[in-house]
C-alpha cells in the first residue's frame, strides 16, 4: 500500500520530476513487481480509467509493456497506430487527440517523433499525458526502468559510475537517463565518437570521453545505445562496420578489465554493431531484466498518475 503522491499531473520528462517522485515510483514498482509475479497478476486499481495508447513511431518494448501494465491494472484501453489512422489523411495531432478524448478517455500514453509534442498537448488538453518517447528529447519510463534495474543489481546509485555508450546525439534514452541518474546521485559519463556526442553535454553535470576502453574501466555500469540511422540526415559515421570496429563493445574488451561491470541496453539491439552477441547474452547483461522491470515501472507510473485524479490508494 503506497499513499504517496507525485508532484506532477503528467509524466512529460524526467527533467520535470523530483528525486522524491522517482523514489516513490520505485517503491510502488517494487510492490507491483511482487503483484505480477503472483499466479493472478492482475489488480483492479484502474478499473474506472480509460487509457489511449497513441504510437506515431514504431515500438515493440514500450508499446507492449504499457499495454500489459494497463491490463494488469484493469484499465480499459484503446490502441492507435498512426500508420493505419486518419493522420495519413492530414488530420492534425490536436484534432486526432481531441477526437479520441471525446470518447471519454482519461489518460494518453503517446510516442511521437516531434520533441516537445507532449508538452504542447499538455497545454491544450485536460487528460493526463505519459511520454512514451518524443523524438530525440526524452523517454522517461525507459530511464526509470533503467535506474530501477541498476538499483536492483548494484544497490543505491549514489556515487555509482554509469557510462552511456554510443549514439548519444540522437538518443532520448540518453537524456532521460542523464537527468534520472544525476537526480539519484550517480556519476554519469557519455562515450562515443565525437560526431555522436553533443558538444556542450558536460554542462548537464556529466563527463564525456571518446575512449571506449578507458570508459569501460571507469564505470560500474555500461548502458549501450543503438546507432539511430533513421534519425541521421547526414552520415555521422563512415560505416557501421567501422563503428563496430572502433566503438562496438565486445567480450575481448570486457576481458581486459580488472573488474566486472553490468551491461545494459534499452533495445532494440543491433547485434554485432554497438554490442556483440557474447556481451549482450553474457551473465553480466541485464537487458531482459530491464524489459521485465518495464511493466512494473509503467504500472507504478500509471497508478500514481491516476491517483492524482482521486483516491486510489489500494494497489491490491
Question: Looking at the DSSP assignment, which residues form a beta bridge with residue 138?
Answer: 134
Residue 45 CB, nearest distance to ligand CP (Å)?
24
- CA quadruple 65, 67, 72, 75: dihedral sign: positive
Strands 187-191 and 107-112: unpaired
Among residues 167, 144, 170, 169, which one has the least CA distance to residue 157? 144
What cell was used for 247? 566503438
CB atoms within 10 A of CB 90: 7
Sheet containing strand 128-134, strands side by side: 76-81, 50-55, 107-112, 128-134
Q: Which one, 7 or 60, has the nearer CB to ligand CP?
A: 60
The enclosing H or E element of 253 equals helix 251-255
Q: Which one, 43 or 77, has the nearer CB to ligand CP?
A: 77
Q: Is 149 in the site for ligand CP (CB under 6 A)?
A: no
Q: Which one, 43 or 54, has the nearer CB to ligand CP?
A: 54
Q: Which one, 4 or 113, has the nearer CB to ligand CP?
A: 113
Find the radius of gyration of the CA atoms of the chain. 19
Q: Is 248 in the site for ligand CP (CB under 6 A)?
A: no
Q: Is 61 in the site for ligand CP (CB under 6 A)?
A: yes
Using CB under 6 A, which of 2, 131, 142, 177 touches ligand CP? Answer: 142
Q: Which one, 137 or 312, has the nearer CB to ligand CP?
A: 137
Q: Which one, 43 or 168, has the nearer CB to ligand CP?
A: 168
Residue 170 CB, nearest distance to ligand CP (Å)?
13
Using CB under 6 A, which of 7, 37, 60, 211 touches ligand CP? Answer: 60
The number of CA neighbours under 13 Å toward the Cβ of 146 is 32
Residue 62 CB, nearest distance to ligand CP (Å)?
3
With H, G, I as helix, E, B as strand and everything else as coil, classify residue 51.
strand
Q: Is 62 in the site for ligand CP (CB under 6 A)?
A: yes
| d(C-alpha 17, C-alpha 49), whole Å | 23
Residue 226 CB, nearest distance to ligand CP (Å)?
9
Stretch that binds ligand CP, among 4-12, 186-194, 245-253, 260-268 (CB under 6 A): 260-268
Binding residues (CB under 6 A) for ligand CP: these are 59-62, 133, 139, 142, 266-268
Amino acid at each position: 500500500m503506497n499513499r504517496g503522491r507525485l508532484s506532477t499531473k503528467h509524466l512529460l520528462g524526467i527533467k520535470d520530476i523530483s528525486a522524491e517522485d522517482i523514489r516513490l515510483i520505485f517503491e510502488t514498482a517494487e510492490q507491483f513487481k511482487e503483484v505480477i509475479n503472483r499466479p493472478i497478476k492482475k489488480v483492479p486499481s484502474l478499473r474506472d480509467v480509460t487509457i489511449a495508447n497513441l504510437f506515431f513511431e514504431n515500438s515493440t518494448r514500450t508499446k507492449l509493456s504499457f499495454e500489459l501494465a494497463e491490463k494488469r491494472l484493469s484499465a480499459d484501453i484503446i490502441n492507435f497506430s498512426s500508420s493505419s489512422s486518419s493522420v495519413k489523411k492530414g488530420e492534425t495531432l490536436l484534432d486526432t487527440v481531441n477526437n479520441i478524448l471525446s470518447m471519454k478517455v482519461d489518460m494518453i500514453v503517446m510516442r511521437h517523433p516531434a520533441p516537445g509534442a507532449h508538452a504542447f498537448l499538455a497545454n491544450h488538453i485536460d487528460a493526463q499525458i505519459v511520454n512514451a518517447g518524443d523524438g530525440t528529447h526524452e523517454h522517461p519510463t525507459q530511464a526509470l526502468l533503467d535506474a530501477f534495474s541498476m538499483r536492483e543489481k548494484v544497490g543505491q546509485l549514489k556515487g555509482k559510475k554509469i557510462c552511456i555508450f554510443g549514439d548519444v546525439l540522437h538518443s532520448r534514452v540518453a537524456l532521460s537517463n542523464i537527468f534520472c541518474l544525476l537526480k539519484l546521485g550517480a556519476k554519469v559519463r557519455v562515450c562515443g565518437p565525437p560526431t555522436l556526442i553533443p558538444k556542450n553535454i558536460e554542462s548537464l553535470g556529466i563527463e564525456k570521453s571518446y575512449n571506449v576502453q578507458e570508459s569501460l574501466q571507469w564505470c560500474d555500469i555500461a548502458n549501450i545505445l543503438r546507432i539511430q540511422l533513421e534519425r541521421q540526415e547526414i552520415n555521422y559515421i563512415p560505416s557501421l562496420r567501422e563503428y563496430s570496429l572502433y566503438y562496438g563493445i565486445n567480450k575481448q574488451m570486457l576481458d581486459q578489465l580488472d573488474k566486472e561491470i553490468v551491461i545494459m541496453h534499452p533495445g532494440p539491439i543491433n547485434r554485432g554493431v554497438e554490442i556483440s552477441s557474447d556481451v549482450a547474452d553474457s551473465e553480466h547483461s541485464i537487458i531482459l531484466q530491464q524489459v521485465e522491470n518495464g511493466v512494473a515501472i509503467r504500472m507504478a507510473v500509471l497508478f500514481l498518475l491516476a491517483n492524482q485524479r482521486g483516491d486510489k490508494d489500494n494497489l491490491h
